[in-house]
């Protein structure tokens, strides 16, 4: 059952290099996590250890990389990541490079050398691995929206994750999530529609639970990212200090 009886799995972005943060998110009811090697403080060794601390069967154990580097991606996958998210994908060539790094032959060029035992089950290990791992393109610019059909038509792309804050900046708007109208909202609706046409799953980062619930229903999202651990700490710290000041 997904968080709060949601119709779609819910992931927490993890920016801190903490096994406890991921463990507590899953214990609280999140369906999965996204380890952030792009904007967070998590290094490759730390991410690999965090991945090993989470049961390998979790389909929403994602890692977002800073760039499409087959060496980094290979280590994350061999440590148990079930999805690799590449940021700011704007071309079919970038999408193909991501597929090449995340999929075993014949789809890609991922090297066969698992460091974590029994990652995938099945008679054909490579086929099982390709089925188990989600290749996730993150579209978060106007250029990416324009190239969406070419990106989503690349064989091996499994999922689209929409980054609304950077998308807003690319349209000359403030960099925030949760847009109910305007060009960002239009782009989200367009991308979700194109993803369905291409048979690709689609997710969206949200910061407000009510907004996320509305997007799941209205846009037909397959999953959502909801919140970032560092922002939760900051928000609760400010609330606690404000409550103390008010009570003093």
* Fold observed for domain 3-247: TIM Barrel (3.20.20)
CB 51 within 8 A of CB 79: yes
pLDDT recorded at residue 6: 58
What b/e readout covers 27-61, taking b as 16+ CB neighbours within 10 angstroms?
A: eeebbbbbbbbbebebebebbbebbeebebebebb
Helix %, strand %, coil % of the chain (to 5): 45, 15, 40
Per-residue pLDDT of the chain in tens (248 residues, 90 and over written 9): 344 445 799 999 999 999 999 999 999 999 999 999 999 999 999 999 999 989 888 999 999 999 999 999 999 999 999 999 999 999 999 999 999 999 999 999 999 987 788 899 888 999 999 999 999 999 999 999 999 999 999 999 999 999 999 999 999 999 999 999 999 999 999 999 999 999 999 999 999 999 999 999 999 999 999 999 999 999 999 999 999 999 99
User: In the chain, what are the domain boundaries?
Assistant: 3-247
Longest dimension (CA), the chain: 66
pLDDT recorded at residue 1: 31
* DSSP-H helix ranges across 29-172: 44-52, 70-78, 92-102, 125-132, 142-146, 148-152, 164-170
d(CA 159, CA 85): 9
pLDDT recorded at residue 48: 96
CB 204 within 8 A of CB 188: yes
Catalytic residue positions, numbered? 39
């Amino acid at each position: 059952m997904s968080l709060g009886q949601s119709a779609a799995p819910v992931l927490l972005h993890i920016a801190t290099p903490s096994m406890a943060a991921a463990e507590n998110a899953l214990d609280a009811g999140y369906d999965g996590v996204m380890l952030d090697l792009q904007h967070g403080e998590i290094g490759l060794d730390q991410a690999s250890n965090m991945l090993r601390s989470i049961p390998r069967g979790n389909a929403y154990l994602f890692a977002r990389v800073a760039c499409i580097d087959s060496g980094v991606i290979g280590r994350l996958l061999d440590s148990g990541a079930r999805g690799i998210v590449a940021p700011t994908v704007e071309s079919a060539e970038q999408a193909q490079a991501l597929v090449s790094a995340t999929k075993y032959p014949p789809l890609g060029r991922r090297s066969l050398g698992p460091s974590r035992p029994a990652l995938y089950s099945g008679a054909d290990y490579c086929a099982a691995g390709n089925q188990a791992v989600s290749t996730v393109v993150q579209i978060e610019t106007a250029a990416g929206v324009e190239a969406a059909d070419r990106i989503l038509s690349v064989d091996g792309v499994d999922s689209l994750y929409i980054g609304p804050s950077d998308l807003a900046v690319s349209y000359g708007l403030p960099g925030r999530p949760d847009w109910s109208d305007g060009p960002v909202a239009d782009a989200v609706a367009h991308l979700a529609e194109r993803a369905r046409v291409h048979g690709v799953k689609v997710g969206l980062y949200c910061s407000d639970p009510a907004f996320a619930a509305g997007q799941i229903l209205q846009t037909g999202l397959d999953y959502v990212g909801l919140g970032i651990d560092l922002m939760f700490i900051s928000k609760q710290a400010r609330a606690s200090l404000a409550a103390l000041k008010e009570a003093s």
